[in-house]
Structures are given as structure tokens and as C-alpha cells.
Copies of this chain bind each other. A is one copy, B any other.
Amino acid sequence: MQAKGEAKFINGVNIDQLFSTLDLIKQNPDIAKFKFRAVNQWISGTHCQATVRDFYGALKEDTSRQPAVFHMDEPPVLLGNSQGTNPVEYLLVALSGCLTTSLVAHASAKGIKIRGVQSRYEGDIDLRGFLGLSEEVPVGYQEIRVFFTVDADVSDQEKEEMVKMAQKYSPVFNTITKSAPVSVRLEK
């Protein structure tokens, strides 16, 4: 038996806040409009660093977080010195976090208690695209494969449903599988 006030967290997700946020957005859809940002500074060769700090959302600028810095570099076989994980690997990191968060958030909203979620990612790239050696092979990922393991007291069918919800509602999954327009401009 749970004391009053304890039941609002499921899997570490504040369900009360989740449902009150949904109500607020239904009243004012602009609350749901977010702008996320990053800046990048080239260092040398294939080594650069990105910084993430502020964002816009829930009708205001948020500058409360400390800057987070991410170094990126290629391994020696790709002309770098491994001074960071490479950009295409960061894409898999992003996909993994988004599918996991989406799975947990939607399962929590349904009241399903989860003990563990693991997933692994593998994506194929033919670097003849990047190197300009072939116009036929895709420059981006040709295919990405994801495998989830979910530990919860629910049937396999319900776990399959959770994995479907993760895909349906994940922004990174949908950006990759449905594409998004990216405008790139030179500032003079």
C-alpha cells in the first residue's frame, strides 16, 4: 500500500506533471513548441567540439543549464586521432536515448512498471558516398538495426506494443525515418 502522494512517480516519471502538462498544452498548444540548439567549433582535422546549453520551450527561454561540451573525432582509420566519438555514432546515441525515453514515458503514462530497458544499435554506412567515389550509394546510413530488451511483468505482446509506441512517438526516430528539412547558410 502506498502513502498518499507517493503514487505519482512511475518508473521515475512524474505522472502528475505529465498529465497536468498535457492539460496545459490542450488549452494552449504554443506551450508545446520547442527550439533546441547547438553550436560547433572546429578544432583541427576531423576534431571539433559542440556545445549545448539554452533552449526555448513552454513559452520561454531556458538558460538554467550549464554548457555541455561534446568532442567529436574520427578513429585513425578515418584520418582522425579518436579524440572523441564520431558524428555518425552520436546519431546512434541520439536515437538510443530518444527511443528509450519514448518507450519509458509512454509505458509510464499507461501505468506499466518497468525494471529494465536495454537496447543496441548498428548502422551501415558505405563511405564511398562521403568520399565522392560513387553517386549510387547513399551518403547517409543505409540501414539502422535496433534490438530492445525490456524487463517488466507484462506479456511479450505488451512488450511488443511498448516497442511500437517508442517508435511512434520518438522525435529522433521520426526525424531519421521520415526526414526533416535542414537549411544551411553561410554567414558573411
Which residues of chain B come closer than 8 Å to A95, judged between CB atoms?
38, 87, 182
- Interface CB pairs A-B, < 8 A, 27: A22-B133, A25-B133, A32-B128, A32-B131, A35-B124, A36-B123, A38-B120, A40-B100, A42-B100, A52-B89, A55-B75, A55-B89, A87-B98, A88-B172, A90-B172, A91-B91, A93-B94, A94-B94, A102-B130, A106-B132, A138-B180, A139-B174, A140-B176, A140-B178, A143-B181, A145-B182, A178-B179
Nearest Cβ in chain B — how far from A87, in angstroms? 3
Give CA–CA (A119, B82) in the complex, Å. Answer: 22
A101 touches B87 (CB 8 A): yes
Contact count band on A: 35 or more
A30 to B36, CA, bound (A): 38
One complex includes copies of this chain to the number of 2
Residues of A that sit less than 8 Å from B by CB: 9, 11-14, 17-18, 21-22, 25-26, 29, 32-42, 44-48, 50, 52, 55, 57-58, 62, 64-65, 68, 70, 72, 74-75, 77-79, 82, 84-102, 104-106, 114, 116-134, 138-150, 156, 159-160, 163, 166-188
